[in-house]
Amino acid sequence: MTEVKKIAHVAILVEDIDDALKFWRDALGLELGHVEEVPSQGAAVAFLPLGDTEVELVQPLGEDSGLAKYLAQRGGGMHHLCFEVEDISAKLEELKAAGVRLINEEASTLEDGRQIAFIHPKSTGGVLVELVQY
């Protein structure tokens, strides 16, 4: 079985990163690593490192994106939990063989080279799960 290494990040969906930072950075005291746009995901993301993991504040870039629709339907809050895996392709094959419903049957490669894929919440007890391989 392919190893799950750690929780890579917890993603919080927000309407506005600057407004959300008033709590996460200013009140709670988490340090802001950086903010970047991730065009392939239709999002701007603020990375707040915490130990060997991160909190990510995710803001939709456009009103037509899946994230914007999710935000309009459900409001802000926890969006997904991300696990770092050793071999994302092998892990996806293992999950398919176990009957797990996947949103992405193959990993997508982001602008920075990371590979990601999502598992459907219907297979996880209601939590959107992301897998990442660096």
Half-sphere exposure of 59 (CA within 13 A, CB side): 15
pLDDT digits (tens, 9 = 90+) for 16-30: 999 999 999 999 999
The amino acid present at 15, given as its one-letter code, is: E
Delimit the domains of the chain by residue range: 4-133
Q: What top-level class would CATH report for the domain 4-133?
A: alpha beta
C-alpha to C-alpha distance for 93 and 17, rounded to whole angstroms: 35
pLDDT at position 2 is 93
Residue ranges in the chain whose pLDDT is less than 70 = none
pTM for this predicted structure: 0.94
CA distances from 22 to 26, 31, 50, 63, 98 (A): 5, 12, 17, 23, 42
